[in-house]
Protein backbone atom coordinates (compact mmCIF):
# COMPACT_ATOMS: atom_id res chain seq x y z
CA UNK A 1 0.00 0.00 0.00
CA UNK A 2 1.39 3.35 -0.94
CA UNK A 3 -1.38 5.91 -0.49
CA UNK A 4 -2.40 7.64 2.74
CA UNK A 5 -5.74 6.28 3.85
CA UNK A 6 -5.44 3.16 1.69
CA UNK A 7 -6.67 0.04 3.45
CA UNK A 8 -6.52 -3.71 3.15
CA UNK A 9 -8.65 -6.32 4.86
CA UNK A 10 -8.30 -10.03 5.42
CA UNK A 11 -10.46 -12.49 7.34
CA UNK A 12 -8.45 -15.07 9.30
CA UNK A 13 -10.12 -18.48 9.23
CA UNK A 14 -7.80 -20.28 11.65
CA UNK A 15 -6.83 -19.34 15.20
CA UNK A 16 -3.18 -18.50 15.68
CA UNK A 17 -0.55 -15.81 15.85
CA UNK A 18 0.15 -13.95 12.63
CA UNK A 19 3.19 -11.70 12.49
CA UNK A 20 3.82 -9.31 9.66
CA UNK A 21 6.42 -6.70 8.76
CA UNK A 22 7.26 -4.14 6.12
CA UNK A 23 10.18 -5.41 4.06
CA UNK A 24 11.40 -1.84 3.55
CA UNK A 25 11.03 -0.53 7.12
CA UNK A 26 11.25 -3.50 9.48
CA UNK A 27 14.51 -2.06 10.93
CA UNK A 28 12.49 0.99 12.06
CA UNK A 29 9.98 -1.23 13.84
CA UNK A 30 7.27 -1.37 11.18
CA UNK A 31 6.02 -4.76 12.34
CA UNK A 32 2.79 -6.11 13.72
CA UNK A 33 1.17 -9.09 15.37
CA UNK A 34 -2.40 -10.28 15.02
CA UNK A 35 -3.71 -12.80 17.55
CA UNK A 36 -6.76 -14.75 16.41
CA UNK A 37 -8.48 -16.64 19.21
CA UNK A 38 -6.97 -17.21 22.65
CA UNK A 39 -3.38 -16.05 23.05
CA UNK A 40 -0.95 -18.94 22.88
CA UNK A 41 2.72 -19.22 23.68
CA UNK A 42 4.93 -17.01 21.55
CA UNK A 43 7.63 -19.66 21.15
CA UNK A 44 6.40 -20.68 17.71
CA UNK A 45 5.23 -17.23 16.67
CA UNK A 46 8.70 -15.96 15.77
CA UNK A 47 9.55 -18.86 13.46
CA UNK A 48 10.16 -17.59 9.96
CA UNK A 49 10.42 -13.92 10.92
CA UNK A 50 13.56 -11.99 9.98
CA UNK A 51 15.83 -11.20 12.95
CA UNK A 52 15.11 -7.46 12.75
CA UNK A 53 11.38 -8.10 13.01
CA UNK A 54 11.88 -10.56 15.89
CA UNK A 55 13.78 -7.93 17.87
CA UNK A 56 11.14 -5.26 17.23
CA UNK A 57 7.93 -7.10 17.88
CA UNK A 58 6.80 -7.68 21.47
CA UNK A 59 5.90 -11.12 22.73
CA UNK A 60 2.27 -12.13 23.14
CA UNK A 61 2.67 -11.81 26.90
CA UNK A 62 3.96 -8.25 26.51
CA UNK A 63 1.15 -7.24 24.15
CA UNK A 64 -1.49 -7.84 26.77
CA UNK A 65 -0.08 -5.26 29.21
CA UNK A 66 1.63 -1.91 29.48
CA UNK A 67 4.31 -2.98 27.01
CA UNK A 68 1.59 -3.44 24.41
CA UNK A 69 0.25 0.03 25.14
CA UNK A 70 3.76 1.46 24.80
CA UNK A 71 4.27 -0.43 21.53
CA UNK A 72 1.00 0.98 20.18
CA UNK A 73 1.88 4.51 21.31
CA UNK A 74 5.27 4.28 19.58
CA UNK A 75 3.54 3.10 16.40
CA UNK A 76 1.07 5.99 16.68
CA UNK A 77 3.91 8.49 17.05
CA UNK A 78 5.67 7.00 14.03
CA UNK A 79 2.42 7.36 12.09
CA UNK A 80 2.12 11.00 13.14
CA UNK A 81 5.69 11.60 12.00
CA UNK A 82 4.88 10.01 8.65
CA UNK A 83 1.73 12.12 8.23
CA UNK A 84 3.64 15.30 9.10
CA UNK A 85 6.25 14.38 6.49
CA UNK A 86 3.45 13.95 3.93
CA UNK A 87 2.02 17.36 4.90
CA UNK A 88 -1.11 15.71 6.34
CA UNK A 89 -0.98 17.90 9.44
CA UNK A 90 -4.73 17.95 10.14
CA UNK A 91 -4.86 14.15 10.25
CA UNK A 92 -1.69 14.00 12.37
CA UNK A 93 -3.21 16.47 14.84
CA UNK A 94 -6.48 14.52 15.02
CA UNK A 95 -4.61 11.29 15.80
CA UNK A 96 -2.49 13.02 18.44
CA UNK A 97 -5.52 14.61 20.10
CA UNK A 98 -7.43 11.31 20.08
CA UNK A 99 -4.47 9.68 21.84
CA UNK A 100 -4.18 12.53 24.36
CA UNK A 101 -7.87 12.19 25.23
CA UNK A 102 -7.47 8.58 26.42
CA UNK A 103 -3.87 8.69 27.67
CA UNK A 104 -4.55 10.33 31.07
CA UNK A 105 -6.63 7.37 32.30
CA UNK A 106 -4.45 4.64 30.77
CA UNK A 107 -2.21 2.04 32.36
CA UNK A 108 0.54 3.52 30.19
CA UNK A 109 0.19 6.87 31.98
CA UNK A 110 0.42 5.08 35.34
CA UNK A 111 3.53 3.18 34.26
CA UNK A 112 5.21 6.38 33.09
CA UNK A 113 4.30 8.03 36.42
CA UNK A 114 5.91 5.14 38.32
CA UNK A 115 9.09 5.76 36.34
CA UNK A 116 8.86 9.47 37.07
CA UNK A 117 8.58 10.49 33.42
CA UNK A 118 4.85 11.02 32.90
CA UNK A 119 5.17 14.80 33.05
CA UNK A 120 8.04 14.73 30.56
CA UNK A 121 5.96 12.59 28.21
CA UNK A 122 2.95 14.90 28.55
CA UNK A 123 5.23 17.86 27.82
CA UNK A 124 6.49 16.15 24.65
CA UNK A 125 2.89 15.55 23.53
CA UNK A 126 1.96 19.18 24.20
CA UNK A 127 5.04 20.38 22.36
CA UNK A 128 4.22 18.10 19.43
CA UNK A 129 0.70 19.51 19.27
CA UNK A 130 2.06 23.06 19.26
CA UNK A 131 4.60 22.24 16.55
CA UNK A 132 1.98 20.63 14.33
CA UNK A 133 -0.47 23.47 14.92
CA UNK A 134 1.96 26.18 13.88
CA UNK A 135 3.43 24.25 10.95
CA UNK A 136 6.91 23.91 12.41
CA UNK A 137 9.72 22.34 10.37
CA UNK A 138 9.62 18.56 10.11
CA UNK A 139 13.01 18.32 11.85
CA UNK A 140 11.53 19.84 15.03
CA UNK A 141 8.55 17.47 14.88
CA UNK A 142 10.83 14.46 14.39
CA UNK A 143 13.04 15.52 17.30
CA UNK A 144 10.05 15.84 19.65
CA UNK A 145 8.62 12.49 18.55
CA UNK A 146 12.03 10.85 19.04
CA UNK A 147 12.16 12.21 22.60
CA UNK A 148 8.63 10.94 23.36
CA UNK A 149 9.42 7.51 21.89
CA UNK A 150 12.58 7.26 24.00
CA UNK A 151 10.49 7.64 27.16
CA UNK A 152 8.18 4.86 25.95
CA UNK A 153 11.01 2.55 24.88
CA UNK A 154 12.10 2.19 28.52
CA UNK A 155 8.76 0.49 29.24
CA UNK A 156 9.33 -2.05 26.48
CA UNK A 157 12.53 -3.37 28.06
CA UNK A 158 12.37 -5.66 31.08
Kindly indicate whether the domain formed by 66-156 is annotated with CATH number 1.10.10. Answer: no
**Four-residue CA torsion sign, 29, 104, 139, 4:** positive
What is the C-alpha to C-alpha distance for residues 100 and 126, in angstroms, rounded to an integer? 9
Q: pTM for this structure?
A: 0.67
3-state secondary structure of 115: coil
**Four-residue CA torsion sign, 77, 81, 86, 92:** positive
Highest average pLDDT, of 15-19, 124-128, 154-158, comes from 124-128
Q: In the structure, how many helices (H) and strands (E) does the chain have?
A: 7, 2
Residues 6+ apart with CB under 8 A from 59: 42, 45
What is the C-alpha to C-alpha distance for residues 34 and 59, in angstroms, rounded to an integer? 11
Name the residue ranges covered by the structural domains of the chain. Answer: 16-57, 66-156
Residues 76-130 have pLDDT tens digits of 999 999 999 999 999 999 999 999 999 989 999 999 999 999 999 999 999 999 9
Amino acid sequence: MTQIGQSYSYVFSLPGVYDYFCALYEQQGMVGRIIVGPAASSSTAEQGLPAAAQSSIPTIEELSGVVGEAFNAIALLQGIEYLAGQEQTALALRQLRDFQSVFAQSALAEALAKQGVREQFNNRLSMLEALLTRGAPLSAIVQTITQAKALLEALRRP
